[in-house]
Structure 1
Amino acid sequence: MSKEKKETTQTPSVEECGIYLLMDEISDSTCKDVITFIISKNLVKPYPKYLQLIINSTGGDLQAAFALIDTMKGSAIPVHTVGLGCVASAAVLIFIAGVKGKRVLTPNTSILSHQYSWGTYGKEHELIATTREYELTTQRMLNHYKKCTGLTEKKIREHLLPPQDIWLSATQAKKLGICDSIKTVY
């Protein structure tokens, strides 16, 4: 009697396929995980053709977001982005950092863009230093939006960073250069 060998095929994980799901608030911890994913993929050859970062996040820590953005931009492997559900605040900055032409929003995705908020306390010289950091960070945000959307600073301040929160549909986001296409994925 011969034993038949049963072949089992294991489905690879999404991360093994070069896909990372960022579905949480933007924090040092969540960005560290994505940064580790991108760096680890860059250390193993042959490289995948591209990495895909799927984002559903209400935003969070802007400094953590910029750490991830710098990693995405420094990756030898192009990072494509997909927005699902809600892409808000700092998550928008991460989303638009994806490779131009490969930034996709699903039809029902909501986008929230606004000026960033923060609170501080301390001695006068500490408040002055913190205010300077606020100004520098605002300029970093504006430069990032300009580079990724092609909008002028005036248009960005008017449509994406006015004093109030701005909610956009996927269609409105596309018109402002936030995404390159709108489609259902998978």
Structure 2
Amino acid sequence: MAEEKFMDGKEIADITINDIITEYFNNTGEIRDLDCILEKVDFLDRTLHLGDIEEATGDVFSHLIRFWNMVDKNIPVKKRQPIKIIVNSSGGDLVSALTISDAITLSKTPVYTINTGKAYSGGLIVFICGHKRFCYPSASFLFHEGSTTTGEMDAGKFKNFATYYNSLILKMKNYLIKNTNVTEEIYKEKSRDDWWVFSEEGIELGFVDKILKEFI
């Protein structure tokens, strides 16, 4: 008996959404686990979903972005299938957000970011690193310098932590100024408080390239 191959031995690039649904139905006799199908479809479509950013999120996203760059190693950059990051994030762990931002910046394979609702705090920093950036009409953005708790620590440790945290804030600032139309003067004015932006102003500020009128 011949060895059974996944999807009839198809290469990843040749597998379609219909292939996934058909295979799942043939194996189970019913379609009941929609999440399982969506995960496979997202993987083949190179689509990642960024919600609130936890400590482990940066490693997961960095690993997947590196993986697709390895897959595309012998493909000219202009012919590579883009990686899409769907952003609907209130922010979260700043180090993790910077890890994702660095991975996007290092990626030769194009990375598109799509704000479907909110790109706040660290989520905004990830979003503005997209090689192309899109948003839904009602999407919003928030920039602020974040907040942190220090717990109980002596004066020396507090001083060292403050220096470290200020360095993280500087990295956020550098990404914002490098990737948008925000100037040093605007940053100085807006960084004192929460800065809320909707899609139309996001275009003017260079946060986003295009407000979507249809899905991509």
Scaled by the length of structure 1, what TM-score is found? 0.86
- What is the match of residue 41 of structure 1? 68
Q: Deviations over 1:151-176 (max 9, x none)?
A: 211112323x22x2122111112111
Counterpart code for 1:59: G
The answer to whether residue 96 in structure 2 is matched with residue 64 in structure 1 is yes
- Candidates 179, 187, 194, aligned match of 1:165: 194
Q: Which has the higher helix share?
A: 2
Which residue identity is paired with 1:39? Answer: R
Percent identity for Structure 1 against Structure 2: 26
Aligned equivalents of 2:58, 2:168: Cα separation in 1? 18
Asked if 1:105 corresponds to 2:135, the answer is yes
The 2-side partners of 1:181 and 1:104 are apart by 5
1:94 to 107, 122, 126: 126
Matched to 1:106, the amino acid is Y
Which residues in structure 2 correspond to 1:98-177 (within 5 Å)? 98-99=130-131, 102-120=132-150, 121-159=152-190, 161-162=191-192, 164-177=193-206
- The more displaced of 87-96 and 135-144 is 135-144
AA in 1 matched with 2:177: K
Amino acid at match of 1:40: F
Report SS of the residue matched to 2:42: coil
Indicate the structure (1 or 2) with the bigger Cα radius of gyration. Answer: 2
CA contact (8 A) 1:110 1:167 kept: yes
Q: How many angstroms apart in 1 are the aligned matches of 2:142 and 2:183?
A: 19
Q: Distance in 1 between matches of 2:196 and 2:170?
A: 22
- Superposition deviation, residue 142 in structure 1: 1.4
Give the aligned partner of residue 44 of structure 2.
16
Matched, 1:178 2:207: yes
1:107 is displaced (CA, Å) by 0.3
Contact 1:142 1:153 in 2 (8 A): no
Residue 59 of structure 2: aligned partner: 32
Instruction: Look up the SS of the partner of 1:52 in the other structure.
Output: strand
| Distance (Å, rounded) in 2 between the aligned partners of 1:175 and 1:88 | 18
Q: How far is 1:105 from its partner?
A: 1.1
Unmatched 5+ stretches in structure 2: 1-16, 21-39
Distance 2:115 2:189 in 1: 23
TM value normalised by structure 2: 0.75
| Structure with more contact order per residue of length (Cα contacts < 8 Å, sep ≥ 6) | 1
Aligned residues: 174
Change (3 A) 1:49 1:97: same
Calculate the aligned-residue CA RMSD, in Å.
1.8
Aligned-partner residue type, residue 68 of structure 2? K
